[in-house]
Amino acid sequence: MEVLYQNLLHLDIKMVIMWIIGGILIYLAIKKDMEPTLLLPMGFGAILVNLPFSGAITQGLEEGPLSILYNAGIANELFPLILFIGIGAMIDFGPLLSNPILMLFGAAAQFGIFFTLCTASMFFDINDAASIAIIGAADGPTSIVVGQKLNSNYIGAIMVAAYSYMALVPIIQPPIIKLLTTKTERKIRMEYTQKPVSKTTRILFPICITIIAGLIAPASVALVGFLMFGNLIRECGVLDSLSETAQKSLANLVTIFLGITIASQMQAANFLKVDTLLILFLGLVAFIFDTAGGVIFAKILNLFLKKKINPMIGAAGISAFPMSGRVVHKLALKEDPTNFLLMQATGVNVSGQIASVIAGGLILNFFLH
């Protein structure tokens, strides 16, 4: 009984606030079905690590399992890289290979990263600013790898912001898209013709992308390489069982560990600070300007094209795969129930996945000493 009272005496309001934050994440995961594989473990983990003398994290000489997992899988970047194999195995580059011009939208949608880098550098050291900016990649594994390699002092807040905003894409993107487009633009139809893509092309594509990315941004080789290796497993045609395992069992297992381990960095004493709130705000800015960059780029192209592009597909250039592509598709259907943009939006979305990883590599090339 005395131990119970002692625990209660060490409970403070910040811990209770973190319980509420954890509860909100769990609510969004279950009630709103927003990336439950990420938000539910993060939400529950936030409660786990904010109990007085929690045995889930290292306390003094007593090592906690979440701290051990963090050191074994995130501090050395192992979990995000393994997850990239699963993501690569999920991605079908067919729509992109059928229409390579879609790659331009993936590149344009990285604008938010570099805008946020300039903004964040006014408040943080340059390595921290670069790590914060990469939240705009809308790619959790890339954010973790860049933050770790640049030795950011805010890796916990960066991870939480990156994964939270990825899950909140269906809330963040629609208002921005509607603000930047007219109803007429949102109704633009884009014919999709499925051009045949040979198996040889599908196999050579991940290999060539890895080589090109490695020559442009050597620091991106691990990120791009693991992503493309997963895709090569998918496309080679002789490793179907491995491809299925990577897409399902491997990706799901690593995602569970990743989500609950990220929560080990959500301890109230470290999380509820002005710097953390500023990072969350800057991460949101990065997402907003990424979305805006893709949409505005499409609108600029339309000034010169006879056959107009629906500018909404530019928003799918962020790396949040496949959520962003689905958001654009649903918006198009809302404006016109017979306007199907799923394939075009998906093509842009997978191009954003590649572009964001290369952007992360470029950031590392610039700032990794």
3-state secondary structure 290-341: HHHHHHHHHHHHHCCCCCCCCHHHHHHHCCCCCHHHHHHHHHHHHHCCCCCC
- Is residue 166 a contact partner of residue 159, using CB atoms and an 8 Å limit? no
Query: What is the Rg, in whole angstroms, of the alpha carbon atoms belonging to the chain?
Result: 21
Q: How far apart are the C-alpha atoms of 197 and 209, rounded to whole Å?
A: 16
3-state secondary structure of 226: helix
Residue 246: pLDDT band (50, 70, 90) is very high
Q: Compute the distance between CA of residue 258 and CA of residue 288 in angstroms, rounded to an integer.
A: 25
Report residue 302 as tokens.
């339309």
> Can you say how many angstroms the Cα of residue 6 is from the centroid of all Cα atoms in its chain?
41
pLDDT of residue 94: 86
| pLDDT attached to residue 4 | 56
DSSP string, 54-118: -TTS-BTTB--HHHHHIIIIITTSHHHHHHHHHHHHH---HHHHH-GGGHHHHHHTTHHHHHHHH
Q: List Cβ neighbours of 298 (8 Å cut-off, separation of 6 or more).
A: 105, 108, 309, 310, 311, 312, 313, 314
pLDDT of residue 121: 92
Most confident of 32-41, 161-170, 200-209, 213-222: 200-209
Quickly count: other Cβ atoms within 10 Å of residue 62's Cβ.
10
- pLDDT band (50, 70, 90) for residue 317: confident
Report, as an integer, the average pLDDT of 89-97: 88
Residue position matching structure tokens 């997978």:
350
Residue 18: which pLDDT band, with cuts at 50, 70 and 90? very high
Tokens for 259, please give them. 């989500």
* Polymer length of the chain: 369
Residue 101, number of CB atoms within 10 A of its CB:
12
Spatial neighbors of 2 by CB under 8 A, at least 6 apart, are: none
Evaluate if residue 211 carries a pLDDT over 60. yes
Q: Within 10 A of 135 (CB to CB), how many other CB atoms are there? A: 36
- Distance, in Å, from the CA atom of 137 to the CA atom of 13, rounded to the nearest integer, reads 34
Q: What is the pLDDT of residue 39?
A: 86
- Alpha-carbon gap, residue 217 to 362, rounded angstroms: 5
Using a 10 angstrom Cβ sphere, with 0-12 exposed, 13-18 middle and 19 or more buried, the burial of residue 184 is exposed
pLDDT at position 2 over 60 = no
Q: What pLDDT is stored for residue 5 in this prediction?
A: 63
169 has a pLDDT exceeding 70: yes
C-beta of residue 328 within 8 angstroms of C-beta of residue 316: yes
Q: Can you read off the two tokens belonging to residue 190?
A: 């884009």
